[in-house]
Amino acid sequence: MNGISRRGLAILLLIATMMVVSACGGAKPAGQPATASAPAVKKAMKVGYLNVMDDAQAMLAKDAGFYEQHGLDVELVLFDSGTDLIKGIVGGQLDAGVLGFTNAASWAAKGADLKVVGGAQMGYHSILVKKGSGIKSVADLKGKKLATQQKGSTADIVLNGVVLPQAGLAKNDVQMVYVSPAVAIQSLAAGQVDAAFVFEPYEQIAAATAEVEAIYEIGKVWPFPCMVVITSGKALEKDRAAIDALLGAQQMAIEMLEQKPAEAAKLLTKRFVADENLTSPNGSKVAAQAVVQKAIETQMFHWEITPDEIKRMQEVVELMVKQEILTESIKVESFLDLTWQQSKGKSAHGH
């Protein structure tokens, strides 16, 4: 195929089942948390996640044993969509989950019993093009085909509300092709689209297996809290200590992601890539673990939610109203519960 090896395409097909969520890191938190002493009988919890880099903290806390260190017996429950994950929380089948802020805002606006209790990852989405395409900026996408995520997703919201307007473009100036990130990369490599708006680890996998390059990264231009930790008000009332322990375990995972990406990649690679190696366009082998490590390093994970981030969340809500995803605005503070974060005595203004 154009720009991609058969083996590279096979790898992309293997990861095609990874769910599309609003993809979307923050400054490195200072210090390491004290390891919780694990009781003899651990608290059982069910935590929802999607198999994307955005949810790395949920997976790493399991793989690195941080949940156990905090006295928890966590069962990770894989979902194919953020909507189904939220239904699990609202319905009481899940204790918590990591997913996109926009999904939480949509359900909270409908009156769902949801609480955002912690941070996860800042929004990082890249626009990729084929090398030598002549497309050097977002403005050059006028009249072009752009593969992106589903309508109403975080990617779609920020693309239409931030990325295109900053480049002087309207939505109708670009031909949108709504597909999963894996299909977006395949389509770009095959020349079926001119660009792809994707998140990690798709960017790094594409860079390793096809002749593509990034021309834009929203995290460098308009950083926003994309992924958050969500639970229900009922779960907090029932056992806040368990939710606090969960957040403590995920804080440890985030600090490993930020401070020891090589160790994190060693544990996480198998979740994203089936084979030990990827094949570059020139036929050379690229270690999958190195690709996943780079994907981690390009992200910004942040367990705190700062006042500035709350303001940016509110801006995202207003974009959702403008794009008629929400019928009316909702105050972000109405579905935030930062009790655990505040109890840690951290100054919530970043580090």
pLDDT of residue 37 exceeding 60, the answer is: no
pLDDT tens-digit map of 226-271 = 899 999 999 999 999 999 999 999 999 999 999 999 999 999 999 9
pLDDT of residue 1 exceeding 50, the answer is: no
Q: Which two tokens stand for residue 335?
A: 């579905």
CB 19 within 8 Å of CB 206: no
Residue 40, pLDDT score = 63
Determine how β-strand 195-198 pairs with β-strand 145-148: parallel
Question: Average pLDDT for residues 96-100, to the nearest whole number?
Answer: 94
Longest dimension (CA), the chain: 62
pLDDT-derived band at 39 (thresholds 50, 70, 90) equals: low
- Alpha-carbon gap, residue 44 to 223, rounded angstroms: 35
Omega into 201 within 30° of 0, i.e. cis?
A: yes
**Closest alpha carbon to 273 in 16, 6, 1:** 16
Residue 244, pLDDT score = 97
Backbone angles phi, psi at 164, to 5 degrees: -65, -45
Q: How far is CA 269 from CA 13, 171, 230, 259, 326, in A?
A: 16, 36, 25, 17, 37
Residue 81, pLDDT score = 83
Question: Average pLDDT for residues 93-114, to the nearest whole number?
Answer: 94
Residue 153, pLDDT score = 83
- Range 38-43 contact pairs with CB under 8 angstroms and sequence separation of 24 or more: 38/68, 38/69, 38/70, 38/71, 39/71, 42/68, 42/71, 42/72, 42/73, 43/71, 43/72, 43/73, 43/239, 43/242, 43/245
pLDDT of residue 129 exceeding 90, the answer is: yes
CB 49 within 8 Å of CB 98: yes
Residue 339, pLDDT score = 96
Domains annotated on the chain, with CATH: 6-11+124-221 (3.40.190.10), 18-123+224-343 (3.40.190.10)
Question: Average pLDDT for residues 41-55, to the nearest whole number?
Answer: 91
Q: Which two tokens stand for residue 44?
A: 């059982």
pLDDT of residue 98 exceeding 50, the answer is: yes
Report which of residues 316 and 22 the model is more confident about.
316
pLDDT-derived band at 127 (thresholds 50, 70, 90) equals: very high
CB atoms within 10 A of CB 313: 23
Residue 149, pLDDT score = 86
**Closest alpha carbon to 129 in 202, 185, 208, 199:** 185
pLDDT of residue 181 exceeding 80, the answer is: yes
Residue 351, pLDDT score = 38
Residue 30, pLDDT score = 37
Burial class of residue 117 (count of CB atoms within 10 Å of its CB; 0-12, 13-18, 19+): buried
Q: How far is CA 246 from CA 28, 166, 298, 331, in A?
A: 19, 39, 25, 26
Q: What is the DSSP letter of 38?
A: P
Half-sphere exposure of 259 (CA within 13 A, CB side): 12
pLDDT tens-digit map of 289-330 = 999 999 999 889 989 999 999 999 999 999 999 999 999 999
pLDDT-derived band at 125 (thresholds 50, 70, 90) equals: confident
pLDDT tens-digit map of 152-165 = 888 899 999 999 99
Burial class of residue 334 (count of CB atoms within 10 Å of its CB; 0-12, 13-18, 19+): exposed
The identity of residue 105, as a single letter, is A
The end-to-end CA distance of the chain, in Å, is 46
